[in-house]
Chain A
Amino acid sequence: MSDAIAELKGEAGVLELHRKFLETGAVPAFRSINEKAIARFEELGFPHPKHEMFSYVNTHEITSTPFQLGTGTVEPAFVDANTYASCEKSRIVFVDGAYEAGLSNTTGLPQGVKLVPLEEALTQADIKTHLEKTIEEENDFFACLNAAFLKGGLLIDVSAGTIMESPLQVLVTGTASKTPTAHHPRLFVRAGRTAEVKLITKYVGTGGGYLVNSMQDFLLDDGASVVLARVQADHAQSWHAEKSRVYQGRDSRFTALCGSGGNKLARVHNEIRLQGEGAEASLSNASVLIDDDQSHHFIRIHHEAAHTISHQLFKNVINDKGRSSVDGTVIVNEGAQLTASHQLINNLMLSDTAHADTKPNLMIFADDVKCTHGATVGQIDQDQLFYLKTRGLSEELATELLTTSFVESLISQIQFPEVVVDLKNLLLKKLEVKSD
């Protein structure tokens, strides 16, 4: 009962904040999107605890916290410290949801990569239509709120045939705040025919107290490729919501390898639509959660055409009172014959109070497909531990080696060496501290 009242209060709070936003902070170009999105949010409301999309994610703290819109600043030194060396001339920076051209440096990008402020990009009919249409179909209240408070953002427009040799880094920064603030960064990535796009998104904070509610659209034309590495390194005392929508044309490839450090509540929603024949998507994530860290993944992959392929691999190491969930459904549409789909979720539990929910799920409406899925929840493998001990390694060292190796095998597949090193520092260090 008390929950219902709190949620009502929370929704009313959001609507009030939105009214103020439209009066003072909104950008006219986004007005119709803002209004459509808040209307959709009003229809959806905050999720009931048994809502399918949030069955493993307790949003109570977020929905009952009165957030203001964040408008902080960061020092250039902070941005530099979080920039990968190979991205010094190809980085774009968001601070509290707003694109900061002054902190960004895009002089190293190839000619075929155009960065267009989203309000300008809205003059292109297909972009505008896409944004409006996705709001009507949106069932995730986080994504609705991103659109409701949308006032900027960036289109990364990669022309046909353009090949990015080195990655573009997107640094999303939240600023420390004593009273809770929310911000809503937005990216739109359009990869032209046979373009090859390399992206690194990194999420950081100058301190706690912020909610980053990020939204990305990826449109891949025929034969295009997007390689994404994602580093979720938010402050432990923050909240992280994120949604990626991926639309894939014929023979396109989308590869995302991600690492999550978790925070008070990190929740990532991936919606991937394999629309053209031969399209392939690969989604992997490694999380290391300690203390009260949480990291949740909600995945829907739609095989809408024949000969499409999807891979998913999730690895979570959970200690203390950490919580993780992976809720992934692969939907193979009628007619999407000869598709292949693999999904594997592995959890390594290091304490009695660690918690993992896994829901690998298949919905198949075609009859000639190859789909596998599985999940494991376990402790350290005793055969592996014994093997290492017979080589003279102590129990402690062998355990540490097995714990780190559990995520390292995934992280090491990332093709950007600096990100591999960064994720090792971020994730594996969390495990070292605990074994001391």
Chain B
Amino acid sequence: MSLLEIKDLHAGFEGTEIVKGVSLTINAGEVHAVMGPNGSGKSTLSKVLAGHPSYEVTQGSIIYKGKDLLELDPEQRALAGIFMGFQYPVEIPGVNNAEFLRLAYNAQLVSKGEEELDPLDFDELLDEKMKLVGMDPKYKDRFLNDGFSGGEKKKNEILQMAVLNPSLAVLDETDSGLDIDALKVVSEGVNKWINKDNALILITHYQRLLNYIQPDFVHVFGQGKILKSGDKNLALELEKQGYDWVVTETAN
């Protein structure tokens, strides 16, 4: 059974259809890169997967671990093992970063019928994960994303992913706005997390990221559809020639 099966998905925002018939199958152990120009429907796909209330699915289906994903609330999707790494993580002043992570971690344990982890044990776990993603421990005591630099916000997303250890992670332009050093650190964190039991969807605008995280599949989005799929060489070709040739090729 596939981990995720998207069939003929049509979805949009405030009555405008943006994703216009996307089908995609993702198995455990796979890394999929989704590329494409702005407005091609990449981010809408990620919002739909996470269950954002402003996005509406008008046609098609998404089956995750054999269940109808569209029936689940965002928090139920999270508890079922889907993680969304935001392009623009929101700042929440007043919510302590470590405390928030502990609440999220324990919500998962409770949903599996397990005992909550006490604060001391969680602190140990958190220290280990922060090391993994190269994050300064001082960010434990900061408010969630509040006043973080762009790079620290993205690192914090990867930290959350490492702590929550999802089955499927969707990283929406996690590489945007990162300098090369931060990109390397973030990629390293992601690579350490990848294993044969989980899967990753990398949404990105730039081929650069794929030098550090090797995709098994590359999909090119355009006008709300997958125009072309291939292996990582497709990404290299895109970098050289831009998106236009894909659009032209598929139009013919």
Binding site for B on A (CB under 8 A): 381-384, 386-395, 397-398, 401-402, 404-409, 412
Contact = CB atoms under 8 A, between A and B. Distances in A.
Contacts of B107: 391-394, 397
Contacts of A382: 53
Interface residues of B, number: 29
A408 B94 contact: yes
Nearest to B104: A391
A401 B103 contact: yes
B95 A394 contact: no
Nearest to A411: B94
A388 B104 CA distance: 8
B84 interface: yes
A404 B90 contact: no
Contacts of A409: 93-94, 143, 146
Interface of B: 50-53, 73-75, 77-79, 83-84, 86, 89-90, 92-95, 100, 103-104, 107-108, 111, 143, 146, 160, 164
Contacts of A401: 95, 100, 103
Q: Is the interface of A mostly helix, strand, loop or mixed?
A: helix
B26 to A, nearest CB: 18
A389 B78 CA distance: 8
A405 B74 contact: no
B90 A392 contact: no
A435 to B, nearest CB: 15
A395 B75 contact: yes
Contacts, number: 73
A390 B50 contact: yes
Nearest to B160: A391
B90 A387 contact: yes
A405 B93 contact: yes
Contact of B164 (A391, A395, A406): A391
B92 A387 contact: yes
A351 to B, nearest CB: 21
A430 to B, nearest CB: 16
Given A391-B160, A392-B108, A386 B53 contact: yes
Contacts of A407: 94
A233 B139 CA distance: 33
A405 B164 contact: no
Contact of A405 (B78, B86, B95): B95
Contacts of B53: 382, 386
A39 B150 CA distance: 62
Nearest to B103: A393
B101 to A, nearest CB: 8
A372 B109 CA distance: 46
Given A394-B107, A397-B103, A401-B103, A389 B75 contact: yes
A392 B143 contact: no
Contact of A390 (B84, B95, B100, B108): B84
B92 A389 contact: no
Given A394-B107, A408-B94, 19 more contacts: A387-B89, A388-B100, A390-B78, A390-B83, A391-B100, A391-B104, A392-B75, A392-B111, A393-B75, A393-B104, A394-B75, A395-B73, A395-B75, A398-B75, A401-B100, A405-B92, A407-B94, A408-B95, A409-B143
